Amino acid sequence: MEESSDKQSPSVKLPRLYAIVDAETIASRGIGLKAFVQELRDGGVTLLQYRDKQGSKDQILENAGVISEIFSATTATLVMNDSPELAAEAGWSAVHVGQGDVAVAKARQALSTGSLVGCSTHTPEQVSAADAAGADYIAIGPVFATSSKLNPEPVVGLEGVRQARSLTRGPLVAIGGITLQNAASVIEARADSVAVIGALLQPGERPSQLVRAFLDLLSR
């Protein structure tokens, strides 16, 4: 592999809102994947990650196909969580890996040229390592307490976001417990984008309306 293929692309620019579709979360709330993803598209989501920790390979690929079809008429970037192989099989050009997943360089090898590789981090040391590995964007968190994971890492707070910002010049995504009430403070802490899961699943609120509310807030 040529050295340049391991380096993050200087042209990567993330939208302010990074929507995450977590299969377990929507299932636990009795929400259908297709209807939810359609709402996200209609609200204006342009960066979406599909996360499914429990589904079989066939189930994940089937759901990825549904998401692909819904977003087929858009220019949205679709990101597969954990598995670059499943991303490639789904025809997606982006993958997000965690600390226990495949290394950034290996993830990039499994995808086509120009693909996007993001990496989750929870400590300054992990941020520096992901940056050195050439991750196209780095996610830091959880910023606030979150219920979207069974065993979340310790909260890093806004100071953790600011510290991560000082360690990388690449795009920085903040994740974990982010809501309409605290999203602005995360951007003020110099995150480029906020990843949102539960905040798009509020009782009595259409996800498309919540997406628009986030986009309006984050565009100010």
The three-class DSSP label of residue 122 is coil
**In the structure encoding, which two tokens stand for residue 134, read together?**
């050439």
| Residue 56 bears catalytic tag | no
| Residue 120 bears catalytic tag | yes
Q: What is the 3-state secondary structure (H, E, C) of 127-162?
A: HHHHHHCCCCEEEECCCCCCCCCCCCCCCCHHHHHH
> Rounded to whole angstroms, what are the CA distances from 102 to 24, 99, 106, 119?
22, 8, 6, 10
Please give the Cα distance from 34 to 217 (Å, whole number). 26
Neighbouring C-beta atoms of residue 5, cutoff 10 Å: 12
Q: Contact 197/29 with Cβ under 8 angstroms?
A: no
- Helix (H), strand (E) at residue 21: strand 17-22
* Candidate list 120, 148, 193, 208, residue with the active-site label: 120
* Candidate list 149, 162, 190, 212, residue with the active-site label: 149
* Candidate list 51, 83, 108, 208, residue with the active-site label: 51
Please give the Cα distance from 3 to 94 (Å, whole number). 20
- Catalytic positions, please? 51, 120, 149
